[in-house]
Amino acid sequence: MVTRIAASIMCADQLHIADELERLDAAGIDLLHCDVMDGKYVNNLAIGPEWLLAVKEATNIALDIHLATIDPLKYIEMFAKIKPEYISFHIEVCEDVPAVIQKIRSYHIKPAIALNPETPLEAILPYLNDVEMVLMMTVNPGFAGQAFQRSVLEKLRILRVTLADNAYAPLIEVDGNINATTIGEMSDCLPDIFVLGTSALFHKKDNKTYAERCVQIWSEVKR
């Protein structure tokens, strides 16, 4: 398994985003995780397509767009022009999952399906052969700084076992207060992609660079 790190761009210093992108590139970040929120599915607003297009033009790091929105089909059309590597949508709001997956694929973008901590794993099981990634939220989407929900660990274990018996296995991504401590709690069911935000990367608790903080994360993953 090749573990990848995604940086939650919402948590970066928005006034110095060009400098932030340079630091993230120097740290070897694999993906920029981009939370798109419509103020309806979650009580917050972020990130617009034009802003992300400027980010895309300023970096070679691939984009991983997470649609925390009521109407994923509308937002897929809005963000497809940016050509991200992934677009994820929430099972909780989706009435026609195959149509959403097909819409994402029609733009040659990898589809991913997201689920919240309280959503049963069974909700996504019928679609595991149709998506490239499962985004498992370890907090409820909408705001940074929430506590890691340890109830998700059992779902993560079950998903990992389920995929082990699956001829086609999508990647597993986790997002929500991911840091060295919470990664340690996932040692027996490690996901493929960790989304790092304020807890592990964009903080001012020390004078370390982003590269040094990523090394600390890698050391925990490799234990």
Residues annotated as catalytic are: 35, 175
Spatial contact of 194 and 148, defined as CB atoms under 8 Å apart = no
Name the residue type at position 197. G
Output the six-digit token pair for 4.
Answer: 């990848």
Compute the distance between CA of residue 109 and CA of residue 103 in angstroms, rounded to an integer: 9
Give the helix/strand (H/E) hosting 223.
none
Compute the distance between CA of residue 142 and CA of residue 44 in angstroms, rounded to an integer: 6
Kindly report the length of the chain. 223
